Chains A and B, each alone.
Chain A
Amino acid sequence: MRYLPHSEAERAEMLGVIGAANIDALFSAVPAKALRTFDLGLPAHSPEFLVEAHMKALAAKNHAGADGPFFVGAGAYRHHVPATVDHLIQRSEWLTAYTPYQPEISQGTLQMLFEFQTQVAKLTGMDVANASLYDGSTGTAEAVLMARRLTKRNKIVLSGGLHPHYRDVVKAYLKDDADLECLSASPEGQGDILDHIDEATAAIVIQTPDFYGHLRDMKLAADAAHAKGALLIVVITEVVSLGLLEAPGALGADIVVAEGQSIGNALNFGGPYLGLMATRKEFIRQMPGRLCGETVDAEGQRGFVLTLSTREQHIRREKATSNICTNSGLCALAFSIHMGLLGEAGFTRLARLNHANACKLADALEAVNGVELLNKTFFNEMTIRTSQPAAGLIERLATRGILGGVPVSRLEPSDPSVANLIVLAATELTTDADIAALCAALAEELA
């Protein structure tokens, strides 16, 4: 077996040094009836080319993004990842290192995390950011719990524009919690969350651009929350939007959570992604997740370490701020390299290109009979109401080779009012020909 270095002779020699008669002797603590004596019925080891053929056959059964016009968004976005990013993250020293618990021989990872935290803080306009969480959805749940610890209040209000999956994750994390209020879907961008803030409210959670693509007024929300002593948690699923939109930190956000996949990371059918979390500096000690900080070594040289770990489970055990034991290191590296390649100039151009393509898409969709655009504002994503149920329509578009967006009913099956809604995204990869193909197909299907 190509991954196992020992020869049979070496195994025998090692058993001799140990003083064991055979390998079974090393498993003597296992109760005899639990030691497997039968065949599991799994296939035997296989040469590389056969494994490759097996996996390629599975991959070939999927319709990849590059195979045709693509407008699927709703929390994960198809952007270009520069070749440099994917090359660098496959370097052994990045790919096969562990969590930097020995800082003297992990300065690469640690300095990168320090740079990453700086990038995220700048993007969001917040004081501090952590070294990443699993993804945006679990990050949102963690932010809600953090807000409760900070305010010592319990009531949480989720905006109707929050990604339904994110809402569901918060619900699962706060199971059976009477203090969780989820507002009903607001596909028109309507918002009544401000009326739900009271003196018992720990935080309100607002996504912008929201699930339906509308841009929400963060300043108004922050002022209303703060007037009652509540916190504003801002959720962003499309981080590229921050290239054009005002930083939540400048508008009064207390905690910002974002899905960072758009920068540096492929779609990957949902994971691995990375959650960004940033907050005010006075809230650091209630923030979950790893933090990297600057210090000096014994010779006074600048260096970096994981810090403030007294918040974490391996020190605090049952008193920890969270049970989180990892971050999303390699995805954070991909994010950081891509953002480092873009820089402010590139990132701004990327955001403008996304918005420009979305404007073209919106204009083209509005011209299709049977399609109504619901958005007055958007960044790169929007919602349309079609004259036919969306789920079947999206399936029919797929048979034409067009991935035409996400039917809202897939995420909100029990809400008949959204049955004819589709959320569509455009990115820098969207071409005029893609838009024309989509609109032509829609026109035919809806005729």
Chain B
Amino acid sequence: MSMNNQGRPTGTGTSGFASTSGSALLPNEPLLFEIGDTEHSGVDLPDVTISTSRLGGFERKMPLDLAGLTEPEAMRHYVRLSRLNHSIDSGMYPLGSCTMKHNPRLNEKMARLPGFSDIHPLQPVSTVQGALELMNQLSHWLMTLTNTAAVALTPKAGAHGELLGMMAIKAAQDAAGQSHRKIVLVPESAHGTNPATAAFLGYTVKPIPARSDGTVDVQAVKDALSPDVAAIMLTNPNTCGLFEPQVIEIARAIHDAGAFFYCDGANFNAIMGVVRPGDLGIDAMHINLHKTFSTPHGGGGPGAGPVVLSAALAPFAPVPFVRKGDNGLELVEHAEGEVLGRITAFQGQMGMYVRALTYMLSHGGDGLAQAAQDAVLNANYIKARLAHAFSVPFGDYPTMHEALFDDTFLAGTGVTTLDFAKALIDEGFHPMTMYFPLVVHGAMLIEPTESESKQTLDRFCDVMEELATDAKAGNSERFTSAPLKAPRRRLDETRAARSPILKWERPAETLKAAE
């Protein structure tokens, strides 16, 4: 998920760093390179000598200059750093489009079983039958939940899945002599990855405007269709948190025109177990295991983005895939008549497959549907509680798993969406997604997920109401100066981009460079 990050200019201040330990429980932690040195190490290894090296004269001459820490120093460095992060486990994280749900620790424990973590992608397939069986089981769940014919597990992230799905569409059209189809329709509310993916594959992106109610008009799609259209990339539920009411008609129109329907499955959490995307007419859809199926976000990846495929696209799935053979399961690494080839070196994100399947088995089919319903319930509850104090862009009808507000309610207050979000930090909550989707002015996109209790939702809504009241009362200082209680005040992003400092350099080197 992406979001604009428009920083309000901050004070210039002086660059510098106080090597204090910080205050109370908020640490001020020096860089690894400021506390470690090249002699210290936290790993005991024998110092072997090599009589006849086989390095052929390519030995390193450039100094490595890598700082090391002993184990207790390293432990403290990374624990102290960690405390500067907000996380799901420490508080509500209502980032719209990101599905920040609880990450069960059973998933972590299972992923670390040596039978999963200590197996090599190229060891004989006869020695990894359990791993292939796991991939098959995961595939079964994904295909059942989506009513689709096939699944390509290997994509390493949602955007990677998009790429694969669109490559499969391109391959199918090339095979059918339809290579002239060079246009991809993308609604204006789409994630930035959609147009980026289409452009990457050489398609021309044709935007589809949103209706005033935030959804896509089937007529607008029909008007944009031509024999040169390859596909539509549509997010459903869409990025405004709304189910596309005409999605079936849109799919029909797309298919009638000989094009394919790529569905961005980022918001599958709203409908898993309740609606099967295959029943809506999708041809390909990526599923973010790190959103819907609770694999950890890890501070920005690794993700996993398996793609389910319709029968029309199934023959164009990439290698490798699992197949039943005479002697158990086979891993097909080179397929006859293979079209797409391979989009990553090995079998994809096995560690995430284990976590996702563990999560599915824990919930069961009934629990997954209940989770989707609770996610939708929670978003509607927030919307219902806050509608009187905030401004709702698309009128009074149910939302799916996200509540979307615009910044009309802040008009004349001198407070922006960004300021409002930063004030939320001082109240102990991670801000909502801001300024996305782009079709809504000053958007605030709130996705509570099913993991939040009613008590937490009430506390969040109380805080939101109080902030809205305060903003309207003219107390803009509280917002424009926020956050005041976080480990850092607002950061100067303009300065960071204007003269980028992307790595640490010894102060002496810095001085020399400045001469």
B71 touches A309 (CB 8 A): no
CB of A318, distance to nearest CB on chain B (Å): 4
**List of B residues within 8 angstroms of A339 by Cβ:** 66
Instruction: Enumerate B235-256 residues with CB–CB distance to A below 8 Å.
Output: 242-245, 247-248
Decide if A416 is an interface residue (CB 8 Å cutoff): no
A357-369 Cβ-contact flags toward B at 8 Å (1 or 0)? 0110010000000
A344 touches B38 (CB 8 A): yes
State A291–B502 Cα separation when bound (angstroms): 7
Decide if B419 is an interface residue (CB 8 Å cutoff): no
Decide if A297 is an interface residue (CB 8 Å cutoff): yes
Decide if B422 is an interface residue (CB 8 Å cutoff): yes
Residue of B nearest to A355 (CB): B50
B68 touches A341 (CB 8 A): yes
**List of A residues within 8 angstroms of B110 by Cβ:** 51-52, 55, 59
Question: Would A242 and B361 be within 8 Å (CB), given that A104-B488, A323-B159, A323-B163 are in contact?
Answer: no
B489-500 Cβ-contact flags toward A at 8 Å (1 or 0)? 111110111001
**List of A residues within 8 angstroms of B10 by Cβ:** 296-298
**List of B residues within 8 angstroms of A272 by Cβ:** 156, 301-302, 304, 349, 351-352
State A396–B482 Cα separation when bound (angstroms): 66
Question: Which of A6, A23, A217 is B454 in contact with, Cβ under 8 Å?
Answer: A6
**List of B residues within 8 angstroms of A128 by Cβ:** 502-503
CB of A365, distance to nearest CB on chain B (Å): 13
Decide if B212 is an interface residue (CB 8 Å cutoff): no
B490 touches A137 (CB 8 A): no
Residue of B nearest to A272 (CB): B302
State A386–B279 Cα separation when bound (angstroms): 54
**List of B residues within 8 angstroms of A121 by Cβ:** 502-503
Decide if A418 is an interface residue (CB 8 Å cutoff): no
**List of B residues within 8 angstroms of A312 by Cβ:** 2, 192
State A294–B504 Cα separation when bound (angstroms): 9
B275-311 Cβ-contact flags toward A at 8 Å (1 or 0)? 1100110000000000000001111111110000000
Residue of B nearest to A351 (CB): B60
B493 touches A295 (CB 8 A): yes
Decide if B124 is an interface residue (CB 8 Å cutoff): yes
**List of A residues within 8 angstroms of B357 by Cβ:** 55
**List of B residues within 8 angstroms of A247 by Cβ:** 60, 62
Among B216-224, B362-370, B406-414, B468-476, the stretch in contact with A: B362-370
**List of A residues within 8 angstroms of B111 by Cβ:** 268
Question: Would A35 and B50 be within 8 Å (CB), given that A171-B341, A306-B5 are in contact?
Answer: no
State A291–B501 Cα separation when bound (angstroms): 10
State A430–B318 Cα separation when bound (angstroms): 35
Question: Which of A39, A101, A108, A266 is B118 in contact with, Cβ under 8 Å?
Answer: A266
B425 touches A72 (CB 8 A): no
A117 touches B503 (CB 8 A): yes
Residue of B nearest to A126 (CB): B503
B421-465 Cβ-contact flags toward A at 8 Å (1 or 0)? 110010000110000100000000000001111100000000000
Question: Would A99 and B297 be within 8 Å (CB), given that A295-B496, A337-B74 are in contact?
Answer: yes
The contact size tier of chain A is 35 or more
Decide if B23 is an interface residue (CB 8 Å cutoff): no
State A3–B372 Cα separation when bound (angstroms): 12
B361 touches A60 (CB 8 A): no
B75 touches A317 (CB 8 A): no
Decide if A324 is an interface residue (CB 8 Å cutoff): yes
Among A153-161, A162-170, A191-199, A438-446, the stretch in contact with B: A162-170
State A358–B59 Cα separation when bound (angstroms): 16
Residue of A nearest to B242 (CB): A29
Residue of A nearest to B140 (CB): A42
Name, among A92, A103, A326, the residue most crowded by chain B CB atoms within 10 Å (CB to CB): A326
Among A180-188, A222-230, A370-378, the stretch in contact with B: A370-378
Residue of A nearest to B166 (CB): A323
CB of B419, distance to nearest CB on chain A (Å): 13
**List of B residues within 8 angstroms of A118 by Cβ:** 33, 503-504
**List of B residues within 8 angstroms of A353 by Cβ:** 45-46, 48
**List of B residues within 8 angstroms of A291 by Cβ:** 500, 502
A416-447 Cβ-contact flags toward B at 8 Å (1 or 0)? 00000000000010000000000000000000
A26 touches B431 (CB 8 A): no
B15 touches A46 (CB 8 A): no
Decide if A64 is an interface residue (CB 8 Å cutoff): yes
Decide if B343 is an interface residue (CB 8 Å cutoff): yes
State A10–B377 Cα separation when bound (angstroms): 11
State A172–B159 Cα separation when bound (angstroms): 16
Question: Would A330 and B296 be within 8 Å (CB), given that A271-B344, A309-B5, A346-B42 are in contact?
Answer: yes
**List of B residues within 8 angstroms of A325 by Cβ:** 1-2, 157-159, 191-193
B377 touches A14 (CB 8 A): yes
A108-142 Cβ-contact flags toward B at 8 Å (1 or 0)? 11011011011101110100110110111110000
State A129–B504 Cα separation when bound (angstroms): 12
Name, among A51, A136, A330, the residue most crowded by chain B CB atoms within 10 Å (CB to CB): A51
Instruction: Enumerate A4-19 residues with CB–CB distance to B below 8 Å.
Output: 4-6, 10-11, 13-15, 17-19
B123 touches A403 (CB 8 A): yes
CB of B305, distance to nearest CB on chain A (Å): 9
A349 touches B46 (CB 8 A): yes
B452 touches A5 (CB 8 A): yes
State A323–B157 Cα separation when bound (angstroms): 11
State A307–B498 Cα separation when bound (angstroms): 9
A72 touches B122 (CB 8 A): yes
**List of A residues within 8 angstroms of B298 by Cβ:** 89, 94-95, 97, 329-331, 333
B453 touches A5 (CB 8 A): yes
Residue of B nearest to A171 (CB): B341
Residue of A nearest to B295 (CB): A272
B103 touches A95 (CB 8 A): yes
Question: Which of A88, A246, A293, A414 is B78 in contact with, Cβ under 8 Å?
Answer: A88
A344 touches B490 (CB 8 A): no
State A315–B384 Cα separation when bound (angstroms): 32
**List of B residues within 8 angstroms of A406 by Cβ:** 122
Decide if B95 is an interface residue (CB 8 Å cutoff): yes
Decide if A84 is an interface residue (CB 8 Å cutoff): yes
Decide if B47 is an interface residue (CB 8 Å cutoff): yes
**List of B residues within 8 angstroms of A179 by Cβ:** none
A395 touches B52 (CB 8 A): no
CB of A405, distance to nearest CB on chain B (Å): 9
Name, among A14, A295, A315, A319, the residue most crowded by chain B CB atoms within 10 Å (CB to CB): A295
CB of A277, distance to nearest CB on chain B (Å): 12
**List of A residues within 8 angstroms of B257 by Cβ:** none
B77 touches A340 (CB 8 A): yes
Question: Would A108 and B83 be within 8 Å (CB), given that A36-B274, A323-B163 are in contact?
Answer: yes
A29 touches B397 (CB 8 A): yes
Residue of A nearest to B28 (CB): A301
A114 touches B31 (CB 8 A): yes
B351 touches A268 (CB 8 A): yes
Can you list 27 residue pairs at the A/B interface with Cβ under 8 Å?
A: A26-B377, A39-B365, A46-B362, A63-B123, A72-B123, A95-B103, A95-B108, A99-B297, A99-B299, A105-B486, A106-B299, A114-B502, A118-B33, A134-B156, A169-B342, A215-B56, A245-B58, A246-B60, A294-B501, A312-B192, A322-B196, A328-B301, A331-B301, A340-B68, A341-B69, A342-B43, A343-B69
Known: A106-B84, A208-B58, A355-B50. 17 other contacts (CB 8 A): A1-B363, A34-B279, A88-B74, A93-B82, A95-B87, A97-B297, A109-B85, A121-B502, A122-B65, A168-B341, A175-B170, A271-B350, A296-B492, A304-B491, A313-B195, A318-B196, A345-B38
